Structure 1
Amino acid sequence: MTDHAERPTAASTAAPAAAGPIGVFDSGLGGLSVLREIRRLLPAESVLYLADQGHVPYAPRPAGEVAGFAEAITRGLLAAGAKIVVVACHTASVAALGDLRRRFPGVPFVGMDPAIKPAIAATRSGRIGVLATAGTFRSGRYASLVREHAHGYTVIDCPCPGLVERIEAGLGDSIETAELLRGCLEPLRAQGVDTLVLGCTHFPLIRETIQRVTGPAITLVDPAPAVARQVGRLLAAGGLSAPAAGPSPTLRLVTTGDGRRLGELAGRLLDGQSSNAAVVEACPWPADGAALRL
């Protein structure tokens, strides 16, 4: 594969238009937790969501490979008219966000950071747990956040291998998943943790299951509402908010894999308790590594 760092910059990308959609992508279902907050806060905005289920999970993959996926997806979102790109995946954010901002300098980006600073504000014991994937824990960005904000606090990493895959498979509410979580989280309770950062966008999808395992004494911190607020701020600052007299907002859901679970979950998350699955478009991954055609 061609070295990602040697590809030409995308300085010629057309300026985004206010009528365009918000582009959101993740490796799979997890970004729906961010999409939900964006639609709640910015109901007039159209959204184009890409689930790269053909490559899920991202966490075990080399950072360069994830960065290549992120660039191809971003090119596809921009070609489809996206006016801002939300990298709704912690692993992709730490692997690619800086490079994306350099390659697409006219495009506003919002990424995911583990919510260390809000957790510091919430903790009473001074002991914080971070439930995240190995890709996030390996990153220099995560280490710098802990150094910058957590001086004098104890931050305990809590990887939970297999949890993302279980959520993608629709098993997030199962007894087996609760047992997996119990094995991962019980050591945090034993060490006096009172605040837990949900450091992967998949994890808020099973927030109730996680809270049952931790018990009410542990506060869960989800960065998605803050991400939605940042999207709103950047749109307003750039004059990119949807026109007040514009057309009705639209939602497009696109996947590079099997869209059945994406449609079912989106139907539940985005339409209240509706049992109707959302319509999902298929988008095969291009064999030549070019931009996705959305």
Structure 2
Amino acid sequence: MTATTSQAPIGIFDSGVGGLSVLAALREAMPAEDFVYVADSGNAPYGDQEPEFIEARAFAVFEFLLKMGARAVVIACNTATAVAVHRLRAAFAVPIVAMEPAIKPAVAMSRSRVVGVLATSRTLESPAVAQLCRVYGAGARILLQPCPGLVERIEAGDLEGESTRSLLRRYITPLLAEGADTLVLGCTHYPFLTPQIRAIAGPEVQVIEPSAAVARQLKRLMAENSDAAESGARGRVQFFTSGRTDAVQAVITALWRQPVDVQRLPCSGGESGAAESKA
């Protein structure tokens, strides 16, 4: 994977399988590219972890992707972005594309000027989200709704069960009662629940997430650096996980809608001292 730059893959990682929603958008926008996807499911959900742990995992996974030859990395996780992106960019020279909740476009779209943001607790508590609300929230009410338990349901492959629907009703109904007409999916896992979210919210409520915007940003970045893969054969995707490979493979196969082979991530534990070593 190191013969030429344009043949090297693009790395993408998430706390688990949620980043597949971003990977799908990347594949749509850049079909000739090879990707290496890491689901850090053995340490999910990041939203319940301490910042130091999340940063250590981000560094460990990032270093693995670089060993795999990644010439750019997409952090397909809002929580990892909020906690670790600044130190990752300071430590590594490769281009990094990261996630943030789509608060800016949501405020622009909202007719009621009330926007609900569904995300993990750690994402919503981050300075990055506070900054987005300050910069783009003038004249609007931005309701931040933590959603504990949702990531775990999706990691288990339970997209339509009553437990998942009950959690969604618990988190969405209060936002609707406050007049929210736009919902931001601030976790890359949540797009897999879009049909259920729309069923609860109703047809008048807009539901947005930033996967397509992330794909456009990466494509522009590759083009600006003259680093895009040549068009031709469809690129391949390699999958790795820190979780149980059989369980994660079953979930990814269901979400990806085709059989996949998931390999064990070498840096699977939470014991990495990568974050400390970068201090």
TM-aligned CA deviation for residue 285 of structure 1: 2.9
How far did residue 205 of structure 1 move? 1.1
| Cα deviation digits, residues 8-43 of structure 1 (max 9, x gap) | xxxxxx9x8221111000010100010011011111
Aligned residue among 266, 269, 272 for 1:289: 272
25-34 vs 210-219, which deviates more?
A: 210-219
Check conservation: 2:120, 2:147, Cα contact below 8 A: yes
2:13 paired residue number: 25
Structure whose residues are more often helix by fraction: 2
Amino acid at match of 2:130: A
**Quick one: distance in 2 between partners of 1:187 and 1:286?**
38
The corresponding residue for 1:251 is 237
Match of 1:208 among 158, 172, 195: 195
**Residues 177, 248 of structure 1: alpha-carbon distance in 2 compared, 3 angstrom cutoff:** closer
Q: 2:209 aligns with which of 203, 211, 222?
A: 222
Residue 244 of structure 1 deviates from its aligned partner by 3.5
Residues 1:57 and 1:286: Cα distance change in structure 2 (over 3 Å): closer
**Paired residue for 2:46?**
58
Asked whether the 8 Å contact 2:241–2:264 carries over to 1, the reply is yes
The residue number in structure 2 matching 1:74 is 62
Q: What is the TM-score of this pair, normalised by structure 2?
A: 0.92
Give the corresponding residue for 1:4.
none
List gaps (5 residues or longer) in structure 2. Answer: 275-279
8 A contact 2:72–2:96 mirrored in 1: yes
Look up the match of 2:161: 174
Partner of 2:229 in structure 1? 242
C-alpha contact (below 8 Å) 2:42/2:243 kept by paired residues: yes
Partner residue in 1 for 2:277:
none
Aligned pairs, number = 271
Tell me if the contact between 1:87 and 1:109 (Cα under 8 Å) persists in the aligned partners. Answer: yes
- Identity between Structure 1 and Structure 2 (%): 41
> Structure 1 residues 198 and 261 mapped into 2: Cα distance closer, same or farther (>3 Å)?
farther
Q: 1:190 aligns with which of 154, 177, 182?
A: 177
Q: Structure 1 residue 97: deviation in Å?
A: 0.4
Match of 1:49 in 2: 37
1:101-135 residue CA offsets vs partner (Å, 9 max, x unmatched): 0001x210011101001101211110000000101
1:123 partnered with 2:110: yes
Q: 1:190 to 1:203 in 2, by over 3 A?
A: same
Distance 1:213 1:286 in 2: 37
Q: What secondary structure does 2:8 align onto?
A: coil
Alignment correspondent of 1:93: 81
The Cα of 1:262 is off from its aligned counterpart by: 3.5
Q: Deviations over 1:249-269 (max 9, x none)?
A: 111011011233443343344
Give the partner amino acid of 2:91. R
CA contact under 8 A between 1:266 and 1:278: conserved in structure 2?
yes
RMSD: 1.8
Compared CA separation, residues 114 and 248, structure 1 to 2 (3 A): closer
Q: Distance in 2 between matches of 1:171 and 1:108?
A: 34
Counterpart residue number, 1:10? none
CA distance in 2, matches of 1:88, 1:79: 19
* 8 Å Cα contact 1:168-1:261 kept in structure 2: no
TM-score, structure 1 length as denominator? Answer: 0.87
Matches within 5 A, 1:80-159: 80-104=68-92, 106-159=93-146
- Residue 59 of structure 1: SS of its match in structure 2? helix
